[in-house]
Amino acid sequence: MFIDEKMCGCGGDVKLNDRMTSRISLMDVYFTQEAMIRIGLGIKKLAITHGLPEGIIKQHMKGNLFNAPPSKHLYFLFHVPELEADMHITIPPCHWKYIGEKTEDNDK
């Protein structure tokens, strides 16, 4: 569960299970092809499950990519006012990296 405190008039912090998060720019992250497929499937699944167009899910996801240390995962954390629901899509660490980040493969 996540809480966007700006929705309750308390500020603009987003928490994931009581952990502080940091907003990440999509321009700073490289996703593997598998990650892009999983994100697309996550959007489809949420849209079908809740009877919403995929475009609405995508719209609410924009600008809502976060990390939540100590987890290495990235999370799309977003509120869908049409359903009065908080939703998320998780990207495991093996499917993303920061652009410019050195990896073991870069050093070979």
DSSP element (H, E) containing 23: strand 22-24
Tens-digit pLDDT profile for the chain (108 aa)? 444 444 433 445 787 777 888 999 999 999 999 999 999 999 999 999 999 999 999 999 999 999 999 999 999 999 999 999 999 899 999 999 999 876 555 444
Q: Are 90 and 75 in contact (CB under 8 A)?
A: yes
pLDDT score recorded for residue 2: 44
Would the pTM of this model clear 0.85, i.e. be above it? no
The residue assigned the tokens 């990390």 is: 67
Residue 72: how many other CB atoms lie within 10 Å: 11
pLDDT score recorded for residue 18: 76
pLDDT score recorded for residue 83: 92
In degrees rounded to 5, what are phi and psi of residue 27?
A: -70, -15
pLDDT score recorded for residue 97: 95
pLDDT score recorded for residue 91: 94
In degrees rounded to 5, what are phi and psi of residue 72?
A: -95, 0
